[in-house]
């Protein structure tokens, strides 16, 4: 809900695609800056408590933004600042969250657990935009951000009731040494470096299509919030389908080849969406891109988790988070800079073709991932 309202609010206040990209950049860049520290902390303390603290900060930011809008004093710098604070909270909660799931399930069930985790996230992506679109078109922005703040309460209660098997060992080395150990582990794990590189590049090139949906809805198809909401919902429905497909596959062999094939499909569908002038075809391409996006994200994350031991998981997942989430703000910022120069369809079409080439490269030439 907040994504829908905030994206439209930034564009409404600023009339600037660059500031839309900057907002996405500021919400994600803290993950690039602070996730390594967050990963070390996730290996040293109760991951549940770290997650609860992260949720409390995000709850506070949602309510503060609602209050600023209610008082009629909200400015673009308020939104950008709060995006950075929320991103900072997520940079510490993210590694703990990703390291939490393997603590709750057996290794053979991990791919299914990650797929189901993706499903619940993407159910929210389908329901959230619909509710968000209704809330801010019928009730206003204040209700969108207030309801988002209220939603964190349920998460905090669930985390408080959760029983977790992971008990952190007493730290015997400094935080810097712990970070170095995590990086050394990645460098010595064969295909892990390639997986980390893929994590960065697939978000750098793949996520801008979601960030700049308001531009397509408003400027390409001359629609309003309803068109934007429909686009987000269709993309989310595709992502749920992709996650269900991965869950149905179970613990299959050749995960690497399936992930790279999905990456190729993602690139083609993004390019198809970018050049489309027919709304129905654009919806179809968004659905396919949602399927491919979630399939490749889930499979790459599964491979990283399966290679990693529990004692290193927080640190390894923090590096993965830096790559995975770091590509989002940088990609959004670069795209936001290029769109006014070349147009959104041109920039995103190139992004799609680069993803297609990236998938082919790792599938045919650099085969470490394809062999997993």
pLDDT at 126: 54
pLDDT at 186: 79
CA distances from 92 to 154, 179, 202, 243 (A): 20, 14, 22, 25
Please give the Cα distance from 93 to 81 (Å, whole number): 19
Query: Per-residue pLDDT for the chain (372 aa), expressed as one digit of tens each?
Result: 777 788 888 988 888 888 988 898 888 788 778 877 887 787 777 778 888 999 999 999 999 999 999 999 999 999 999 999 999 998 888 777 777 777 777 766 776 776 677 666 655 655 666 666 667 677 788 888 898 899 899 989 988 887 765 556 665 667 777 777 778 887 777 788 889 989 899 989 998 998 899 899 989 999 987 888 788 888 888 888 887 888 788 777 788 899 999 999 999 999 999 999 999 999 999 999 989 988 888 888 888 877 876 667 777 877 887 888 778 778 888 998 999 899 999 999 999 999 999 999 999 988 888 887
Residue among 159, 202, 231 at smallest CA distance from 3 = 231
Residue among 212, 358, 238 at smallest CA distance from 295 = 238
Please give the Cα distance from 372 to 366 (Å, whole number): 12
**Are the CB atoms for 299 and 261 separated by under 8 Å?**
no
**Which residues, at least 6 apart from 139, have a Cβ–Cβ distance to it below 8 Å?**
none
**Are the CB atoms for 174 and 286 separated by under 8 Å?**
no
**Are the CB atoms for 228 and 4 separated by under 8 Å?**
yes
The topology under which CATH files domain 2-165+173-365 is Growth Hormone; Chain: A; (1.20.1250)
Burial of 315 (0-12, 13-18, 19+ CB in 10 A): buried
pLDDT at 166: 56
**Are the CB atoms for 17 and 30 separated by under 8 Å?**
no
Please give the Cα distance from 304 to 110 (Å, whole number): 11
Please give the Cα distance from 86 to 152 (Å, whole number): 13
Write down the domain spans for the chain.
Answer: 2-165+173-365
């Amino acid at each position: 809900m907040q994504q829908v309202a905030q994206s439209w609010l930034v564009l409404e206040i600023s009339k600037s695609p660059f500031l839309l990209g900057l907002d996405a950049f500021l919400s994600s860049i803290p993950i690039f800056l602070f996730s390594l520290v967050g990963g070390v902390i996730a290996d040293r303390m109760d991951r549940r408590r770290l997650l609860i603290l992260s949720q409390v900060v995000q709850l506070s930011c949602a309510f503060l933004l609602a209050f600023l809008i209610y008082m009629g004093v909200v400015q673009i710098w308020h939104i950008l600042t709060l995006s950075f604070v929320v991103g900072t909270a997520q940079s510490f909660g993210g590694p703990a969250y990703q390291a939490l799931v393997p603590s709750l399930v057996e290794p053979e069930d991990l791919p299914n657990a990650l797929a189901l985790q993706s499903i619940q996230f993407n159910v929210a992506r389908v329901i959230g935009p619909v509710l968000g679109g209704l809330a801010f078109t019928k009730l206003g922005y204040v209700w969108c951000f207030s309801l988002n703040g209220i939603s964190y309460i349920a998460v905090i209660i669930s985390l408080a009731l959760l029983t977790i098997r992971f008990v952190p060992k007493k730290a015997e080395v400094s935080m810097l040494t712990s970070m170095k150990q995590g990086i050394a582990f990645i460098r010595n794990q064969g295909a892990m470096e390639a997986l980390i590189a893929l994590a960065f590049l697939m978000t750098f090139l793949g996520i801008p299509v979601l960030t700049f949906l308001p531009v397509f809805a408003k400027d390409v198809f001359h629609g309003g919030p309803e068109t934007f909401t429909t686009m987000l919902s269709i993309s989310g429905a595709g992502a749920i389908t992709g996650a269900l497909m991965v869950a149905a596959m179970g613990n299959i062999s050749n995960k690497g080849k399936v992930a790279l094939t999905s990456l190729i499909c993602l690139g083609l569908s993004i390019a198809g969406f970018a050049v489309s002038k027919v709304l129905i075809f654009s919806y179809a391409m968004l659905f396919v891109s949602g399927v491919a996006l979630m399939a490749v994200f889930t499979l790459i994350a599964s491979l990283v988790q399966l290679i990693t031991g529990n004692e290193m998981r927080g640190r390894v997942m923090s590096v993965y988070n830096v790559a995975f989430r770091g590509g989002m703000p940088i990609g959004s910022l670069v795209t936001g800079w290029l769109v006014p120069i070349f147009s959104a369809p041109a920039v995103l079409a190139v992004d799609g073709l680069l993803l297609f080439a990236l998938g082919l490269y790792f599938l045919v030439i650099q085969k470490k991932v394809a062999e997993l």
